[in-house]
């Protein structure tokens, strides 16, 4: 295996879409980080990892990786949701800074247990909420900070796709922690809480719309925030019409951006990230284009490197993930009972 003595050595658990297309290039984009281990037992993914990453150790199981604790510094958990708790627990007990792809766990109670463990062991834990560094989220936060919109009263956020044919993988399996609520919903809720603050009430509709789907594939959440603002959040794998990606309504102005951030497509296709389309600001006088800030998912891993090198706070506080899962837990209850659930 290649030597990386001066770099922070990263072990990546999982080499599917998340591991190979999302995490791998972002880790490689940070000079302080070196991807030294990949954990996967799938023969096709083993071959792919070896082709993509010459000199990197491909390990068949986490259990085998744990026997080599002196060979890595950071663990990235990019595996099926149901495995997050046991894998994260083991990594923290080894004293390794641990990155967990969202959601941190399947329920808020499980996530809180992991946060408590990390605090007790004094080991950094963070959650890969990469869409905090989407173009739309960064631009919206800038408009908030500038006061351009005035008092924001409503956020509308859509993260929808059209996948009419069900592909049977763990994301379509409720028993593995699959389903759109824990997948796209985790991003939507994190964004809403980041921009509008804590939620106090949740109403939700969570459904399975496609024939053969083994988990929920369509959801709508309405949150009331402590400020009195409301957020309406749509997530779906069964939506031919995408609708605007993000819209904010304020007392002075409104802002809308139609297009989903392009970083995932660029990484999947191996092409440079194109400029983001403009959003539009609406006032009583009409509308005008507003240039979009560039998305920057690699900022997450620059934050991880800073935590290791100088003790900076982790890029995403895991307690934020617990609060997000409390909303998702409440959404399930609301959908079952058809009632508004207080938090």
Residues 6 or more apart whose CB falls under 8 angstroms from that of 281 comprise: 143, 148, 253, 254, 255, 287, 288, 289, 290
* Tally of residues, the chain: 343
Supply the pLDDT for residue 2.
41
Number of domains forming the structure of the chain: 2
Do residue 277 and residue 142 come from a single domain? Answer: yes
Cβ atoms within 10 A of the Cβ of 140, count?
Answer: 26
Q: Per the structure block, which two tokens stand in for 47?
A: 């071959």
Supply the pLDDT for residue 263.
96
Do residue 100 and residue 213 come from a single domain? Answer: no
Do residue 84 and residue 162 come from a single domain? Answer: no
- Flag whether 330 is in a domain: no
Do residue 206 and residue 270 come from a single domain? Answer: yes
DSSP H helices, 9-101, are: 24-28, 43-52, 62-66, 84-93
DSSP H helices, the chain, are: 24-28, 43-52, 62-66, 84-93, 108-121, 135-146, 180-196, 263-269, 298-310, 318-337
- Flag whether 3 is in a domain: no
Supply the pLDDT for residue 171.
77
The CATH number given to whatever domain includes residue 63 is 3.40.50.720
Structural domain including 113 reads 8-128+299-312
Do residue 281 and residue 308 come from a single domain? Answer: no
Supply the pLDDT for residue 4.
45
Do residue 254 and residue 176 come from a single domain? Answer: yes
Is residue 33 within 8 A of residue 56, CB to CB? The reply is no
d(CA 12, CA 78): 7
Do residue 177 and residue 287 come from a single domain? Answer: yes
Give the CA angle between residues 165, 170, 171 to the nearest 5°: 60
Supply the pLDDT for residue 5.
52
From first to last of its 343 residues, what are the pLDDT tens digits of the chain?
344 457 999 999 999 999 999 999 999 999 999 999 999 999 999 999 999 999 999 999 999 999 999 999 999 999 999 999 999 999 999 999 999 999 999 999 999 999 999 999 999 999 999 999 999 999 999 999 999 999 999 999 999 999 988 887 777 888 778 899 999 999 999 999 999 999 999 999 999 999 989 899 999 999 999 999 999 999 999 999 988 999 999 999 999 999 999 999 999 999 999 999 999 999 999 999 999 999 999 999 999 999 999 999 999 999 999 999 999 999 999 999 999 999 9
Do residue 58 and residue 184 come from a single domain? Answer: no
């Amino acid at each position: 295996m290649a030597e990386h003595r001066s770099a922070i050595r990263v072990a990546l658990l999982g080499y599917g879409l998340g591991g190979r297309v999302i995490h791998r290039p972002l880790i490689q984009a940070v000079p302080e980080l070196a991807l030294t281990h990949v954990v996967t037992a799938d023969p096709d993914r083993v071959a792919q990892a070896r082709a993509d990453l010459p000199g990197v150790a491909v390990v068949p199981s986490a259990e085998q990786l744990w026997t080599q604790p002196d060979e890595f510094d950071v663990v990235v958990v990019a595996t099926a949701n149901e495995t997050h708790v046991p894998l994260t627990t083991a990594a923290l007990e080894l004293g390794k800074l641990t990155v967990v792809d969202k959601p941190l766990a399947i329920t808020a109670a499980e996530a809180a247990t992991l946060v408590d463990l990390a605090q007790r062991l004094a080991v950094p834990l963070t959650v890969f909420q990469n869409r905090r560094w989407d173009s739309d989220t960064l631009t919206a936060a800038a408009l908030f900070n500038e006061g351009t919109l005035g008092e924001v009263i409503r956020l509308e956020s859509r993260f929808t796709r059209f996948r009419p044919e069900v592909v049977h993988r763990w994301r379509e399996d409720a028993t593995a922690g699959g389903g759109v609520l824990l997948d796209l919903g985790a991003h939507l809720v994190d964004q809403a809480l980041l921009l509008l603050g804590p939620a106090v009430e949740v109403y939700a509709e969570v459904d399975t719309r496609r024939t053969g789907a083994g988990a929920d594939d369509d959801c709508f959440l309405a949150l009331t925030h402590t400020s009195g603002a409301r957020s309406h959040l749509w997530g779906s794998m069964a939506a031919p019409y995408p609708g605007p990606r993000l819209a904010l309504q304020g007392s002075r102005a409104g802002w809308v951006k139609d297009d989903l951030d392009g970083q995932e497509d660029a990484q999947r296709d191996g092409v440079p990230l194109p400029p983001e389309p403009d959003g539009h600001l609406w006032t009583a006088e009409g509308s005008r284009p507003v240039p979009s800030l560039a998305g920057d998912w690699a900022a997450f891993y620059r934050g991880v490197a800073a935590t290791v090198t100088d003790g900076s706070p982790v890029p995403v506080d895991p307690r934020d993930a617990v609060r997000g899962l409390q909303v998702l837990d409440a959404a399930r209850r609301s959908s079952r009972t058809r009632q508004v659930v207080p938090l």
